[in-house]
Structure 1
Amino acid sequence: MTNETHRSVQELVRALRQRDVKPSEVTASSLAAIQKVDPEVGSFLSVDEEGATTAAKALDEAADTSAPLFGVPYALKDNMVTNGLRTTAGSRILETYIPPYNATVADKLAATGGVLIGKTNMDEFAMGSSTENSAYQLTRNPYALDRVPGGSSGGSAAAVAAGLVPFALGSDTGGSIRQPASFCGVVGLKPTYGRVSRFGLIAFASSLDQIGPLARSVEDAAYVLGLISGHDPLDSTSAPKSTEDFTADLDKGVKGLRIGVVRDIDTEGLHPGVRSAVDAAVAALQGAGAEVVEVSLPNSHYAIAAYYLIAPAEASSNLSRFDGVRYGHRAAGATLLQMYERSRSEGFGMEVKRRIMIGTYALSSGYYDAYYKRAQQMRTLILRDFEAAFANCDVIATPTAPTPAFRLGEKMEDPLAMYLNDVYTIPANLAGIPGISVPCGTVDGLPVGLQLLGRAFDEKTLLRVAHAYEQVRGDILPAPQVGVGR
């Protein structure tokens, strides 16, 4: 059987609408690819073979094929709730949780004719940069099985890179879409905060989390963003923005646009090969007609420190709902307090416990002003830096991650080294602006990414620049070590 799911989303939509291939055949192709490849990669936590097959066969009989994702299979990160399908957030505390409702993005993709194949692996409650914090399994990078896929959306990135699905959704709190996209050689888009509904996304840090697509091209990411975005009355933080066609301006090129290069970027730990690849990408955009200007983000040096106070503080509050009473893991205890303690001790992993303790401390009486409040003040300064920079440029170019994918287990004993993987991605989450990672080369055969950042709600310009780079770059990535369809 040929692998249909390694075709682009747009190619698949055209083929399915013209009935060159049936939805059931595409779904069967995806399921066969997962059965063949995923035992090595470990990208899926659950595969809904029965549900996907039933949905695809129903589409075979449909008279109308005009739905935007008619018959296209996809995957969801396992922190987006799915009605009747287990959702764990990568945690033992939700090992048996079967939600009674859908996340808004799941409803939207189903309404556009997409076929949900399954749920992908992730760092527990999206806390991590390598997907090694999952309570269930390791996910391996399709480009090198001894390397991590990045995190926390590592399962989604690996599934797309290996050709198991044409696109998947992830969530990005501090780089969790863009960093795994960089490591796995795919495109990862974090929209502006509020652009995509968070209803049904199991919360990590509510003021930072944002859902976005991982795909194999900028065009596909833009297409999917148009389908999942828009105001949602079920999400109080959803922006009052109408749905847009984000593919409309992709081919306008970069002539007349200004690309900002950060002169005071923190280069400690930046791999020389990554820096060379990003510099070459910026030069390629300049050669395509863009103007390159220097900009300054002086407070970005403090982004990680601010983030690791704000995010754990919000996690401490959000994860208090997992108490063993209403849903999820419940341990036996002689008293209510003992039941709480045992349920949370058994259900949460070490990284989640670490962040809950940091956050609880930062919010505690006598320390709130010294830590959490000051971190929020720094967040405001970082946002103002971006506003000043965007007065002089249209997008900002940086590395996505300081290194290519590192080896499994390499940083698990050093949380600070792990946290530094997000040094270039975290500022965008604190400022709420959109960011995208596009493959821009390799280091020792491993993909690296160019990160482009844009003004709030200006995804069209961001995607236009990313697409233009993709066109001048050409096909630079080798085939992954494991995967189908190439």
Structure 2
Amino acid sequence: MHPTDFTLRGALDAMAEGIVTSEALTRAHLDAIAALNPRLNAFITVMEEQAMEAARESDRRRAEGLARPLEGLPLAIKDLFCTKGVRTTAGSKILRDFVPPYESTVTSNLLRDGAVFLGKVNLDEFAMGSSNATSAFGEVENPWKRGNDDGTRLVPGGSSGGSAAAVAARLALGATATDTGGSIRQPAAFCGIAGIKPTYGRCSRWGVVAFASSLDTPGPVARTVEDCAVLLGSMSGYDPKDSTSVDVPVPDFAAACARGVKGLRIGVPKEFRLDGMPEEIGALWERGLGWLRDEGAEIVEITLPHTQYALPCYYIVAPAEASSNLARYDGVRFGLRQDGEDLKDLYERTRAAGFGAEVKRRIMIGTYVLSAGYYDAYYVKAQKIRALIKRDFDIAFRDVDAILTPATPSAAFALGEKQDDPVAMYLNDVFTVTANLAGIPGLAVPAGQDRLGLPLGLQVLGKAFDEETVFAVGAAIERAADFKALPQVRAFAA
């Protein structure tokens, strides 16, 4: 087995048994990045020297019997997480040369547990997008191809497209990501890997560049459900530096993967059966329900009546918060600075030069819905609808333990295919945004392929802070689906 072919759990076991070293694992992944990143553009910054030094330190610790939970695992870090002494760009020109003097809480937790950072991976600018095509550092290519069509480049999903593409292409064993409206689950589904958005407040947002503060949720992507569970165990935990962090115990998520689903009640929301939904997506959903039924779960139809308002609600709340958060990029304190004739001119020149088209679009929408004449009509009404969406889930979870839905309305689409139609792009989040609005956990699991061989995913939603049940259901689907297909573009393919 080539070192890049290990799962995260498999790599931990192999290092513990002396089959492979962290230095060898890390070197293999850095070589894979050097070979494939010119094509995929998944990494913005490669931390080769730091990674090799950390790997050698991990091997020393393991030899001395001091191995930590993630000792020696080479990971990729979404370039939205601040990393001390390593530039953090948020995929934006305005932060192209920003080097934080501090480490985010999530990455601090991973370093505490022995992880090795390979580098910072690409993303939609300020996490705004569903294709990873809005980055100031260029598009990311999905390592999957449509059948034998090697000429059409596909999107990896967004905003965590660099994270998902790097893991799928065997450039990293796992990666950090963030999910504001589906930005972990959609790229995971498009790239044939697993990814979990945990409960809002489970992982600290401190040191994560903000998009929409009431929605942003850090989480992991990895090759298997268990790998995600292992990573989430280290990423989670109460953080007094984050006012939205919740002080709850961090359970053994990985152990929950072996629980099974016998006796669980699985909800099927009728509102997710959309008109015009591709037949392949509906068929996969039915297969997923059948797998759970065969494992002893009971399937229950439920209703989430305010689902139809989720997308318009999200695209008022998220841009409003983005408009407020991005006001800090003014050319005065940090980031890009374009001198002007006066202070107002400096602001205008800096923001015009530093922000891309999608970020400007969302700032304008957000500023509009927060303006004096429209605040009540749009923003306040959206917050009321958000409360109703959360109530729908609260009521549903009185009767069911988890909910199963499709992860995305389609397989990965071609780069540029929807770029000129923002509304079509926003519809990619139709199955995912409700979880963010309600603050509940959601897991994407690769479960099948479309007629062109592209991966399709199913989504498991759970009660707040009940990721254990979500992992149990997701792992059951993973076992039944037995998804072993690999992308055509990957490190050291046979």
Matches within 5 A, 1:10-25: 10-25=9-24
Deviation at 1:485, TM superposition (A): 5.4
Q: How many angstroms apart in 2 are the aligned matches of 1:134 and 1:396?
A: 33
Q: How many angstroms apart in 2 are the aligned matches of 1:315 and 1:96?
A: 21
Other-structure match for 1:412: 419
Letter of the 1:398 counterpart: T
Letter of the 2:239 counterpart: D
Per-residue CA deviations over 1:247-282 (Å, capped at 9, x if unaligned) read 122212111001111112251342211111121111
Deviation at 1:240, TM superposition (A): 0.9
Deviation at 1:157, TM superposition (A): 0.3
Per-residue CA deviations over 1:149-170 (Å, capped at 9, x if unaligned) read 0000000000000111110010
Other-structure match for 2:251: 244
Q: How many angstroms apart in 1 are the aligned matches of 2:420 and 2:9?
A: 43
Letter of the 1:455 counterpart: K
Select 2:325's aligned residue among 313, 318, 327: 318
Per-residue CA deviations over 1:319-350 (Å, capped at 9, x if unaligned) read 00010001100002111110100000000000
Per-residue CA deviations over 1:88-107 (Å, capped at 9, x if unaligned) read 00000000101100000111
Other-structure match for 2:52: 53
- DSSP-derived class of the 1:61 partner: helix
Deviation at 1:6, TM superposition (A): 2.5
Other-structure match for 2:476: 468
- DSSP-derived class of the 2:76 partner: strand
Gaps of 5+ in 2: 146-151
Asked if 1 retains the 8 angstrom alpha-carbon contact of 2:204 and 2:238, the reply is: yes
Asked if 1 retains the 8 angstrom alpha-carbon contact of 2:131 and 2:158, the reply is: yes
Q: How many angstroms apart in 2 are the aligned matches of 1:126 and 1:113?
A: 27
Other-structure match for 2:148: none
Other-structure match for 2:284: 277
Asked if 2 retains the 8 angstrom alpha-carbon contact of 1:3 and 1:30, the reply is: no
Other-structure match for 2:399: 392
Other-structure match for 2:372: 365
Asked if 2 retains the 8 angstrom alpha-carbon contact of 1:185 and 1:449, the reply is: yes
Per-residue CA deviations over 1:102-124 (Å, capped at 9, x if unaligned) read 00011111111110000110000
Q: How many angstroms apart in 2 are the aligned matches of 1:77 and 1:6?
A: 21
Asked if 1 retains the 8 angstrom alpha-carbon contact of 2:32 and 2:492, the reply is: no
> How many residues get paired?
484
Q: How many angstroms apart in 2 are the aligned matches of 1:393 and 1:485?
A: 44
Question: Are 2:336 and 1:337 aligned?
Answer: no
- DSSP-derived class of the 2:254 partner: coil
Matches within 5 A, 1:29-428: 29-62=28-61, 63-144=64-145, 146-428=153-435
Other-structure match for 2:456: 448
Q: How many angstroms apart in 1 are the aligned matches of 2:377 and 2:214?
A: 20
Asked if 2 retains the 8 angstrom alpha-carbon contact of 1:225 and 1:246, the reply is: yes
Asked if 1 retains the 8 angstrom alpha-carbon contact of 2:196 and 2:442, the reply is: yes
Deviation at 1:479, TM superposition (A): 1.9
Other-structure match for 1:438: 445
- DSSP-derived class of the 1:141 partner: coil
- DSSP-derived class of the 1:251 partner: coil
Letter of the 1:88 counterpart: T
How does the TM-score come out when normalised to structure 2? 0.96
Task: State the superposition RMSD in angstroms.
Answer: 1.1
How does the TM-score come out when normalised to structure 1? 0.98
- DSSP-derived class of the 1:164 partner: coil
Q: How many angstroms apart in 1 are the aligned matches of 2:177 and 2:398?
A: 30
Deviation at 1:10, TM superposition (A): 1.3
Question: Are 2:10 and 1:8 aligned?
Answer: no
Deviation at 1:423, TM superposition (A): 0.3
Asked if 1 retains the 8 angstrom alpha-carbon contact of 2:310 and 2:434, the reply is: yes
Deviation at 1:4, TM superposition (A): 1.5
Q: How many angstroms apart in 1 are the aligned matches of 2:291 and 2:251?
A: 29
Asked if 1 retains the 8 angstrom alpha-carbon contact of 2:311 and 2:430, the reply is: yes
- DSSP-derived class of the 1:148 partner: coil
Per-residue CA deviations over 1:126-178 (Å, capped at 9, x if unaligned) read 00000000011111111126110000000000000011111001000000000
Asked if 1 retains the 8 angstrom alpha-carbon contact of 2:230 and 2:254, the reply is: yes
Q: How many angstroms apart in 1 are the aligned matches of 2:41 and 2:20?
A: 28
Q: How many angstroms apart in 2 are the aligned matches of 1:43 and 1:271?
A: 29
Per-residue CA deviations over 1:216-244 (Å, capped at 9, x if unaligned) read 11111111111110100111100011222
Deviation at 1:65, TM superposition (A): 4.2
Asked if 1 retains the 8 angstrom alpha-carbon contact of 2:447 and 2:482, the reply is: no
Per-residue CA deviations over 1:353-392 (Å, capped at 9, x if unaligned) read 0000100111111211100000000000000101111111
Other-structure match for 2:491: 484
Q: How many angstroms apart in 2 are the aligned matches of 1:263 and 1:243?
A: 33
- DSSP-derived class of the 1:248 partner: helix
Per-residue CA deviations over 1:279-331 (Å, capped at 9, x if unaligned) read 11111111111110100011010000000000000000000001000110000
Identity over the aligned pairs, expressed in percent?
Answer: 52
Asked if 2 retains the 8 angstrom alpha-carbon contact of 1:314 and 1:359, the reply is: yes
- DSSP-derived class of the 1:241 partner: coil
